[in-house]
Amino acid sequence: MSEQKKQEATMEVETANNAVPTPDTDTKTVSTDAPAADESKQSARPQRGRGGNRSGGDNQRNPRRPRRGGRGGERVRQEFDQKIVSIRRVTRVMAGGRRFSFSVSMVIGDKKGRVGVGIGKAGDTQLAIEKSVRNAKKNMITVPLNKDGHIPHDVHTKISSSEVMIIPAPGRGLVAGSSVRTVLELAGVKDVTAKIFSRSKNKLNNARATVEALKQLKNE
């Protein structure tokens, strides 16, 4: 009886040993399962490449936002063309030192017969230009021109030390110099010859003399 019990005990131990998994099998299952888990994690992570989308979408760059105050609308054309004849810096000597201001002479016109000369003075250049434009609009005149932009007759005038003469010359174009040419261009006058008889180089006086000469024109 004792030998049979011993044999049964040994058989039970062997069956128990066969049921328990060995360390080798455990390591094999772990080694095979680990890469699959790593691959699933890598596929779940979003790709963060250059220019990529963090949300895991397409790798195209995001479109640019529209600029604020861009060049969408067209520029509004001004009613009159402007041209600065002269700009001077004036210095006043005061008790506390020197004070500077600017004097701007401006000619404006629509090239259709309307032209004006103005002057503006201020401590800032931009403010002086605005004043000169307002003054030129107050002193605007209308030149009597025909359909071709020609003046009816020749004129000759003198203001201060400036003496100007304007003669119609069909086919020659605009032959003039200094500020006289600026006034005639912005007035829309064509095919004339202008001559400055005085030695004065004051551009403001020459422009004013030209405007005064255009005032003397009469329709024939």
What pLDDT is attached to residue 28?
46
Torsion of CA 50, 51, 53, 58, to 10 degrees: -110
What pLDDT is attached to residue 27?
44
Token digits for 24? 């080798």
What pLDDT is attached to residue 26?
47
Number of H helices, E strands in the chain: 5, 8
Per-residue pLDDT of the chain (220 residues), as tens digits, is: 556 666 666 666 565 555 545 555 444 444 444 455 555 555 555 555 555 455 555 555 666 766 665 555 566 667 889 999 999 999 999 998 999 999 999 999 998 899 999 999 999 999 999 999 999 999 999 999 988 889 999 999 999 899 999 999 998 999 998 899 999 999 999 999 999 998 888 999 999 999 999 999 987 6
| Nearest one of 115, 118, 120, 117 to 131, comparing CA atoms | 120
What are the beta bridge partners of residue 195?
165
Instruction: Tell me how far apart the alpha carbons of residues 85 and 177 are, in angstroms, rounded to a whole number.
Output: 12
What pLDDT is attached to residue 68?
65
What pLDDT is attached to residue 147?
86
Q: What's the Cα-to-Cα distance from 2 to each of 7, 9, 11, 13, 54, rounded to whole Å?
A: 9, 11, 14, 17, 75
| DSSP single-letter state for residue 189 | -
Residue type, position 195, single letter? K
What pLDDT is attached to residue 188?
92
What pLDDT is attached to residue 30?
45
Which residue intervals of 45-150 are DSSP H helices?
Answer: 125-138
What pLDDT is attached to residue 164?
94
Q: Where are the beta strands (DSSP E) in the chain?
A: 81-94, 97-109, 114-122, 141-142, 155-159, 162-168, 174-175, 192-196
Are 142 and 186 in contact, with CB atoms under 8 Å apart? no
Hey, what domains does the chain have and what are their CATH numbers?
A: 81-141 (3.30.160.20), 143-215 (3.30.230.10)
Token digits for 62? 């995001």
Long-range contacts made by residues 28-36, C-beta under 8 angstroms, separation at least 24?
Answer: none
